[in-house]
Structures are given as C-alpha cells and as structure tokens.
Amino acid sequence: MTENLEVLKRATSETLEKMFFAIPDDSVYGSLEHSSYDSTVAACGRGSLWIANISIINIEKPDDNWLMVRAIVPKKGAQRLAENFSGKEENTATRDAEIDDVVGEFINIITGKFIAEIDSNIGYSIGTPQVLRLTSKDEIKLEIERWFIQKDSRIVFIIDSVPVLIEYD
C-alpha cells in the first residue's frame, strides 16, 4: 500500500464520519472479492450508479492533469450520503438531482483533504466535480466489473453493506 493510498483512506474516512455521519463497516484495498458481485449490483437498486470525478491540476504545468480522484457510489449508498448530509430522515425520498449535488460535494471534500496532505509544496488547482449518473443496467454492470480488478490506488469502503469505491489516477 502506498502512502498516498493511506492518505486517501484517512481523508475519506474522516469525510464520511464528520460530514456524512456514516462510519464504514470495513474497507478493502485494491478490489472486492468476486463473491460480492451480486450484492454490489443489488446495491444499485433499480439501476443507478453515481460516478464523481475531480481533477487536480499542477499550476506550474497547467496542461497536465496532475491527478484525478474518483468516487463510485451505488444508489443505496448515494441516498444514504444525501440523507445524512442534508439531515433528512433515513429512507426519505431524495431526488436524483440532490444526490448528484451531494456526491459531487463528497468527492470535493475528500479531494481537498487528500491534496492538502500529500504535497503542500506544489501549487495546485482543484477542478469542479463532474458527476455522472449511470442508469443503464449494462453500463452499471460494466462499471462494477472494474471493481473486481486489482488496482493499487483504490479503496472500497463498506457502509451498511453497500460498497463505495474511492480511487485516484
């Protein structure tokens, strides 16, 4: 495990606990076990998976994306984050547009904490979060299949039995 991944884990755990009042049950580095594939797909509910990306740009080399941080959150996890962040009661209907905003803010907070800790000597600019909501079952299954491929810059947090993936490139 790299030092950056440990920093990302701390930034995400702290954000989940302090801003979203969600304490992860567990976290896994790299990839999920294949035995959890069906439950991961089921966590997408009736077919929604949120993907939020944010670019970090080195001011000294603005043409280069220095780093990209990404969160991938199934519907049940995204709803839980949105309810907790906005103070709504659990299982209260939350519109997809509200969830879009909350998932964007989730990755924005994590990225700010992450970049502040990994290298304070480099001038950087954090981009605007880009949030994509997948609704096609085929697109969702293709995206989830990536979760089971080992990657050294990925952490999967388990929150109320729902996986939430955080990674950087």
- Tens digit of each residue's pLDDT (9 = 90 or more) over 30-87: 555 655 656 666 666 666 889 999 988 877 776 665 788 999 898 888 888 898 888 8
Residue 97 is predicted with a pLDDT of 87
Residue 93 is predicted with a pLDDT of 58
Q: Who's near 11: CB < 8 A, 6+ residues apart?
A: 110, 113, 114, 117
Could you tell me the two tokens for 161? Answer: 């039995």
Closest CA to 103 of 5, 16, 9: 16
Residue 29 reports pLDDT greater than 90? no
The fold adopted by the segment(s) 3-168 is Chemotaxis protein chec (3.40.1550)
Q: What is d(CA 3, CA 67) in angstroms, rounded to the nearest whole number?
A: 15
Q: What is d(CA 72, CA 83) in angstroms, rounded to the nearest whole number?
A: 17
The phi and psi torsions of 121 (rounded to 5 degrees) equal -90, -10
Residue 44 is predicted with a pLDDT of 64
23 with 86: CB under 8 angstroms?
A: no
- Sketch the domain layout of the chain as residue ranges: 3-168
**Residue 47 vs residues 72, 76, 120, 125, 139: alpha-carbon distances, Å:** 14, 10, 40, 34, 10
| Phi-psi domain of 85 (left: phi exceeds 0; alpha: psi -120 through 50; beta: other) | alpha
Is 58 or 98 the better-scoring residue by pLDDT? 98
